[in-house]
Amino acid sequence: MARWATLASLLTVVVVMLGAWTRLVHAGLGCPDWPGCYGFLSVPQDAARIAIAEARFPDSPVDVSKGWPEMIHRYAAGSLGLVVFGLAAFGVRHRRSGVPFRLPLFIAGFVVLQAAFGMWTVTLKLWPQVVALHLLGGFTTLTLLTLLALRLRAKPTSPPVGKYPPLVRLRPWLYGGLALVIMQIALGAWTAANYAAVACTDLPTCQGHWWPEMDFRHGFDITQAVGPNYLGGQLAADGRVAIHVSHRLGALVVLVYLGGLLAALWRHGGPAGIRGAVALAGAALAIQILLGLANVIFSIPLGIAVAHNAMGAGLLLTLVHLVWRTHGYRLGAGFHIHKTTIKREAAV
């Protein structure tokens, strides 16, 4: 089950990257229906099927180059759903053996909700609110599956010698850093949903100004009506600039906060596993910042933009892993073994 949970986590990363690819090549409406494509299980390509498809959807001419990214994303998401349902079924079947089943069941239910958001993304014509929530849902699914894999892979270990009060004191700040990264991911999702990534094409200024003309009320209006079609975005320029600048400022806050926190965690030392997790989070933070800068400098090239989405997930997971590794430490009590570990040792 641990191997399958790890496989599901990796597959979720692929699904997130495919979703970014689909959005970046403007293929979000490559198929005007859901879950098929023009009523077919794959993208219609021969003349007969294209004629049938365009008769069914006269307002949406077939574009094979846009249909395939959308369907590949759906195939991958569907495969992930099958793996998640398998995990839930296995957990329920073997629950009397101590196998976790509540978390797999919750993930399965969440995947159903995520599929609904995928459907609404198409049927509501890329309405930004739904697109942003769908993106956040992908990151949430990844986090939950990673937590499941970490829980299943936990092994009985002896408590390390020594106590780590600095680690315990810094842990609330680590939760704060995790919250900041989640908020920054949400800003990134809103930026992508409103096609605001290209609103500023220079660094460190935006459109040649340190504080350009911006309309935050317009840019962050979550009450905007549905449709008719949000492909390419409908916001005015000053609204998109407000979103883009907010995302930049958020990145700066995350860099300063997390950079300082990770430096403090590294300076206070601790077990080798903790220091390794800190180094991994620091590397993910540095790479993510560099990818964000490269996006602006090179005008959102496809490969870098997809990598920026993937590394956003990577940064989130490194922080989740770091929180997981520090969770067992108590002030003045050394390492507290997870209750599942205690059960295993008691059984032995």
Residue 244 near residue 196 (C-beta atoms within 8 A): yes
293-340, pLDDT tens digit by residue? 999 999 999 999 999 999 999 999 999 999 888 875 543 433 343 444
Q: SS3 letters for the chain?
A: CHHHHHHHHHHHHHHHHHHHHHHHCCCCCCCCCCCCECCECCCCCCHHHHHHHHHHCCCCCCCHHHHHHHHHHHHHHHHHHHHHHHHHHHHHHCHHHCCCCHHHHHHHHHHHHHHHHHHHHHHCCCCHHHHHHHHHHHHHHHHHHHHHHHHHHCCCCCCCCCCCHHHHHHHHHHHHHHHHHHHHHHHHHHHHHCCCCCCCCCCCCECCECCCCCCHHHHCCCCCCCCCCCCCCCCCHHHHHHHHHHHHHHHHHHHHHHHHHHHHHHHCCCCHHHHHHHHHHHHHHHHHHHHHHHHHHCCCCHHHHHHHHHHHHHHHHHHHHHHHHHCCEECCCEECCCHHHHHHHHHC
- List, in order, residues 6 or more apart from 307 with CB less than 8 Å away: 291
Q: Which two tokens stand for residue 335?
A: 């390492």
The single residue of 54, 70, 213, 345 carrying the catalytic annotation is: 70
Mean pLDDT for the stretch of residues 284-293: 97
CA-to-CA separations, 154 to 13, 64, 224, 333, in angstroms, rounded: 22, 46, 46, 20
- Which amino acid is it at 65? S
Residue 54 annotated among the catalytic residues of the structure = no
Phi, psi of 232 (to 5 degrees): 90, -10
- The token pair that represents 319 in the structure block: 């922080």
Q: What angle do CA 312, 313, 318 make, to 5 degrees?
A: 100
pLDDT, tens digit (0-9, with 9 covering 90-100), for 24-81: 999 999 999 999 999 999 999 999 999 999 999 999 999 999 999 999 999 999 999 9
Question: For residue 122, what pLDDT band results from cuts at 50, 70 and 90?
Answer: very high
- The number of CA neighbours under 13 Å toward the Cβ of 282 is 14
CA angle 176, 178, 111 (to 5 degrees): 135
Q: What is the pTM of this model?
A: 0.88
Q: What residues does each domain of the chain span? A: 1-153, 163-348
Per-residue pLDDT band for 272 (boundaries 50, 70, 90) equals low
Percent of the chain's residues with pLDDT above 90: 77
Q: Helix axis angle, 2-24 relative to 302-326, nearest 10°?
A: 150
Length of the chain equals 348
**Does the pLDDT at position 9 exceed 50?**
yes
* Residue 140 token pair: 């949430």
Is the predicted pLDDT of residue 347 greater than 60, yes or no? no
